[in-house]
Amino acid sequence: MQYRQLGNSGLFVSQLGLGTNAFGKRADEQASIEIIDEAIHSGITFLDTANIYANTESERIIGKALQDKRHEVVLATKAGLPTAGAGGAGASTRGSSRRHLMQELEHSLKRLQTDYIDLYQIHTFDPYTPLEETLRTLEAMVQSGKVRYIGASNYWAWELMKALGISERLGISRYISIQQSYSLADRTLEREIVPLCLDQGVGIIPYFPLAGGILTGKYISKDELPSQSRAVRDPNFQKFLSPAKLQLGQQVSELAAACGCTPAVLSLAWTMKQPAVSTVIVGATSADQLRSNREAVQFEPSEDIMLELDRISAKFIHGEPFASYRLTQG
């Protein structure tokens, strides 16, 4: 495993990170614990979760799995998206106000069975709370020792830059990372976020690096959906299966066959090599799936393959992001 600095901070993370959105849903408790054990055994140190994943089950399972391994991982969680499904209701169960963040941090610490979070991330920009309130709250968490570093997620470029400017003006902790959708099928952040992060020393943490499975090549058409796939389990996902994305998936598969690797490995390797990327989050529902994707760390695509991947995915620099989670009034 290789390790990189998260932005310009002193925090080092594994080049491949483990996403845990499936824990407690598509992966039961036992399978999830096996995945975590496999990740740690293979040198993966970055574990990413959120207070709302699987209705809080993801954090609970991780806490159980890390009882004697907490010191071996960089543990990241998030707050800010609605927690109504996790037992709350109303405006007080969302956003990045002081009240909500302090409440959710304590809940996460309890579920994760830990005294501190290595990277506490704001899950999305909150247009209803002043950024200064959010950032001063995060600074208080850092000063208390309950949070080591802070990061953003699903911020637009101007929102991230405004936050960094406020932190600099106040002389308080600044975001060291931003978690965004980024893959061959979604290169929209290259327009503004990537240049901003390179200039400001912010590390990028891509999520959906396989575009929900489209870049594994398993989707041929909307009429031929693999059984047990995300598109079958969640019919809403079918909206992402556009002709252009399906074509990209097949093109990546052809290139991967020529390289002697899986389409997933080739797609992940491309993402890992993009500027400002610190760690790439990959989910797993089994230890075998994690082992397969881990091959991307050692795989070295040729310059010609990288250029071809750039060419066939260039159209996805423009348009809408593959995924973006935002707060709405209510």
Share of the chain above pLDDT 70, in %: 94
Average pLDDT, the chain: 94
**pLDDT above 60 for 88:** no
**pLDDT above 60 for 206:** yes
**pLDDT above 70 for 84:** no
**pLDDT above 50 for 209:** yes
Share of the chain above pLDDT 90, in %: 86
Dihedral pair phi/psi, residue 244, rounded to 5°: -65, -40
Can you tell me the distance from the alpha carbon of 54 to that of 49, in angstroms, rounded to the nearest whole number? 10
| pTM for this prediction | 0.95
Average the pLDDT over 32-56 and give the result.
97
Fold observed for domain 3-317:
TIM Barrel (3.20.20)
Average the pLDDT over 183-194 and give the result.
98
Instruction: Name the residue among 215, 281, 299 with its Cα closest to residue 251.
Output: 215
Lowest mean pLDDT among 75-84, 196-205, 228-237: 228-237
Average the pLDDT over 215-221 and give the result.
86
pLDDT score, position 86: 47
Cβ neighbours of 68 (radius 10 Å): 7
**pLDDT above 80 for 140:** yes
DSSP three-state, residue 290: helix
Q: 157 falls in which pLDDT band (50, 70, 90)?
A: very high
Average the pLDDT over 189-201 and give the result.
98
pLDDT score, position 91: 65
User: E strands of the chain, at which residues?
Assistant: 3-5, 12-14, 16-19, 46-48, 74-79, 117-122, 147-153, 175-181, 203-207, 280-283
For the chain, the maximum distance between any two Cα atoms, rounded to a whole number of angstroms, is 55
Q: Give the position of tokens 């704001």.
A: 122
**pLDDT above 70 for 136:** yes
Lowest mean pLDDT among 82-91, 219-228, 249-258, 320-329: 82-91
**pLDDT above 70 for 330:** no
Residue extents of the structural domains in the chain = 3-317
| Catalytic residue annotation | 53
Average the pLDDT over 261-269 and give the result.
97
